[in-house]
Chain A
Amino acid sequence: MGNKNAKPSPYDYDLVTIGGGSGGVRASRLAAADGKKVAIIELPFDPVSSESTGGFGGTCVIRGCVPKKLFVYGSHFHEEFEDAEGFGWNIHTPPKFNWQHLMAQKTKEITRLNGIYAKMLNNAGAEIFEGRGKLIDAHTVEVTDAAGHKTLLKTANTCIATGGYAFKLPIPGAELGITSDEALTLPDLPRKVCIIGGGYIAVEFAGIFNGLGAEVHLVFRQELPLRGFDEDVRAAVNENLIKRGIIVHPKCNPKSLAEASAGTITVETDSGQLTVNTVMFATGRKPNISRPDLGLSEVGVELDHGAIKVDAFSRTNVNGVWAIGDVTNRVNLTPVALMEGAAMMASAMKGRMTKPDYQYIPSAVFCQPPVASCGLSEQEAVSNGHTCDVYLASFR
């Protein structure tokens, strides 16, 4: 196999990936399965992410899509119990919900999936390193393990796929608030919760807490939730939140958090005050470019608004350094990271320059009831200069 006159490679690896989430694992195992020498670096597993914790599977598997959806399912049963009566069922006493049971089951499942991701990589022939990865130069990656021991990996290509992290508004008392990470590990269901934000994470958790019996306040700056979505959809989501008993505070800016008494927090907004047990910030996610330090500035990797800047092929400005997934802040969805990973692998490993295609990506928001979209919103279509006929169907 291969030309006997070919120069021996100066590198130990064809690809070293920093970050074992959706994109990183996909690119790595495809490359390894193709016979390439691949190493992948990921922080030790923990449901809550930090500078020193993460886990194979990444955000999606450990603290995003998967656990979120399990909680959406869990919270939706409440509606099923209510609906069943009209269909002839008699539920003698209202069913009781045990938060710790669902939490334990969820943690069991994400741990199982985390193990599967590691196994997948092993089976494909990729080498796993647990620890922090950092670029020393375009072809050298330093791995630091839990004990502080460092290993240098010489590689032809590096792929940065470190994902993103939940961002809290930098207001006084923000440290009293939690993010989705902690929400998915709470020891108990809060009685009263205030969610700050109007994006998909905010409305999904609003539905979860509400369905499980908490009093939910949703605070956002816009007039409607889900900015960027079709206006008709935003209005319908808003109506559905309110109809299900979620207290919506539109055009509301949170100013500060303060501890009121043991176990309660007061949220000061520009329109009043709220006292709750738990405050959750769902105010965006930012690319993981320095958490921990990736050595990007030393190596000269350019950023764009806090994300790693890449071209249409996922190449950074540094030859041999690629980046995919949420750290590039293009379309932050797992299937897109998977697509970017596969395209990057083809480009970097097979010499088949492949651009990921960002058109017509369907996505869903698991508020209750859920929203799904694909293609242009009405407003986007109009901004793009199209004359539109709009067809709406509204039915019970």
Chain B
Amino acid sequence: MVQGALASFASLRPSMAIRGVRSLSSRFSGSQRSLQNVRKASPRAGMPRTLTVAASEEYDYDLFTIGAGSGGVRCSRMSAGKGAKVAVAELPFSTQASDTTGGVGGTCVIRGCVPKKLLVYGSHFAEDFEDSEGFGWKMNEKPDFDWTKLIASKNKELDRLTGIYKRLLDGSGVELVEGRGTVVDAHTVEVDGKRFTAKNILVAVGGRAFVPDIPGKELVITSDEALDLPKMPKKICIVGSGYIALEFACIFNALGAEVHVYYRQPLPLRGFDEEVRGFLAEQLALKGIVLHPGATPTAVEKTDTGLKLITSDGEQEADEVMFGTGRKPNVKNLGLEEAGVEMADSGAIKVNEISQTTCPSIWAIGDVTDRINLTPVALMEGMALTKTLFDGVPTEPDHTNVACAVFTQPQVATVGLTEEEAMTEFGDIDVYTSSFRPMKNTLSV
């Protein structure tokens, strides 16, 4: 498979490794702009100016990317930086993802990591105000919170970021084509009726929030809508126990809503260390979130005053019902099957260790491959692919020991194996746990 891949771009220009000046003070310094680490390469001695003509006369582009999210943007601009002729197709911007809307920056920037974190910060101030009293601060009245103001500020920031991402692409010489990109064949992409040929195609279309097929599913919101609600719910039911469900539970709870969380497992955050799961469940409950473990949702109904969630654990009325029940790869109607790209049952595009699909000239990275669905991983997969395609060095992204965090309140952070995974792999392990009262809490109570 790898041999075939090498053969397919043997006709490309010779390897164009960035010849960094490796000296005592060689630096890759960041810029003050976006929320992601920006690496500026050191001077590329001896490299020709960025060409705007594709290396091969056979194709319009060396690389055509569908999807300008974390992975797609990273691979596209890094590849262009190596002299490749690159284009990327992305749907028009909207905070709500759909078959016809998306936006440069992708899930992370527009309706994921970034807005979520801003809301976590915004909600956390409630706790800061409470804590400040123990440290000598006195407020005459309780501060007021204006949800619409936070959402407006959040949206303003998203506009700024999507603009930055567009400038990043522009600045690296990547052509942005607005519209819905689909695969026509191994070397052809169509965007809203216009066709482009490419030596390589990268599919980086990400994923979408998934809601199971239950009666009343159309009444339910996902994280997309939660990030744009016109009004903050006074009471909300959240179905799911993954990081998205729990992060939003904490956001709404901290801002004063009554929050009920329903999940099938006995503990939330399946897949995490058991000790962490147990601790977090305890913390959520201490913060006033009502947990309903062992509950399966069966229907959602409209009532006079709002909605009603029906589960195996009973009924609950609320202003909103949010499902944080997973995200699925966005592979519908992309022309992938016809091009010979195989997908798993989940819909994830199957790729080998160097992110190549079953069609040798079509590659896939990020959430659409459902490997580790985190922005830094998509960035890594994108970087590795740039090396593979344009340095002539087949490079495998390394998916081991990926650090990640869950922004519940308090947060969870992990890296490496859980205790359970370590037991399975090694059998005999020593476990060290430290439990202590955070110093801040000695005075804040």
Binding site for B on A (CB under 8 A): 66, 69-70, 73-74, 77, 80-81, 83-84, 86-93, 95-102, 105-106, 109, 382, 387-396
Residues of B within 8 A of A390 (CB): 25-28
| Closest chain B CB from A81 CB (angstroms) | 8
| Closest chain A CB from B393 CB (angstroms) | 18
A-B pairs, 3 with minimum CB distance? A88-B150, A102-B136, A87-B122
> Could you list 30 examples of A-B contacts with CB < 8 Å?
A74-B443, A77-B132, A80-B125, A80-B132, A86-B153, A87-B118, A88-B153, A89-B143, A90-B145, A91-B143, A92-B144, A93-B140, A93-B141, A95-B132, A97-B137, A97-B138, A99-B136, A100-B136, A102-B443, A105-B135, A106-B443, A382-B24, A387-B23, A388-B26, A389-B22, A389-B26, A390-B25, A391-B39, A392-B28, A396-B35
| Closest chain B CB from A204 CB (angstroms) | 15
Q: Do A89 and B24 have beta carbons less than 8 Å apart?
A: no
Tell me if B52 counts as interface (CB < 8 A to partner A). Answer: no
Tell me if B332 counts as interface (CB < 8 A to partner A). Answer: no
Q: Do B24 and A91 have beta carbons less than 8 Å apart?
A: no
Tell me if B430 counts as interface (CB < 8 A to partner A). Answer: no
Q: Do A96 and B27 have beta carbons less than 8 Å apart?
A: no
Total contacts A to B, CB within 8 angstroms?
A: 131
Residues of A within 8 A of B20 (CB): 389
Q: Do A92 and B141 have beta carbons less than 8 Å apart?
A: yes
Residues of A within 8 A of B139 (CB): 91, 93, 95
Q: Do B147 and A88 have beta carbons less than 8 Å apart?
A: yes
Measured in the bound complex, the distance between the Cα atoms of B33 and A396 in whole Å is 7
Question: Chain B interface: which size bin?
Answer: 35 or more
Tell me if B149 counts as interface (CB < 8 A to partner A). Answer: yes
Could you say which of A90, A96, A396 contacts B138, with CB atoms under 8 Å apart?
A96
Measured in the bound complex, the distance between the Cα atoms of B148 and A83 in whole Å is 17
> In the complex, what residue of chain B is closest to A98 when comparing beta carbons?
B136
Which of A89, A102, A388: most chain B Cβ within 10 A? A89
Tell me if B8 counts as interface (CB < 8 A to partner A). Answer: no
Measured in the bound complex, the distance between the Cα atoms of B175 and A259 in whole Å is 70
Q: Do A395 and B35 have beta carbons less than 8 Å apart?
A: yes
Tell me if B29 counts as interface (CB < 8 A to partner A). Answer: yes
Measured in the bound complex, the distance between the Cα atoms of B36 and A390 in whole Å is 18
Measured in the bound complex, the distance between the Cα atoms of B136 and A100 in whole Å is 8
Tell me if B215 counts as interface (CB < 8 A to partner A). Answer: no
Could you say which of B25, B29, B30, B138 contacts A98, with CB atoms under 8 Å apart?
B138
| Closest chain B CB from A233 CB (angstroms) | 14
Measured in the bound complex, the distance between the Cα atoms of B28 and A389 in whole Å is 8
| Closest chain B CB from A206 CB (angstroms) | 19
**Given A70-B439, A77-B131; 11 other pairs, CB 8 A cutoff:** A87-B150, A88-B149, A91-B143, A95-B137, A105-B135, A390-B27, A391-B39, A392-B27, A395-B37, A395-B38, A396-B35
Tell me if B101 counts as interface (CB < 8 A to partner A). Answer: no
Residues of B within 8 A of A86 (CB): 153
Q: Do B128 and A80 have beta carbons less than 8 Å apart?
A: yes
Q: Do A66 and B150 have beta carbons less than 8 Å apart?
A: no
Residues of A within 8 A of B27 (CB): 390-392
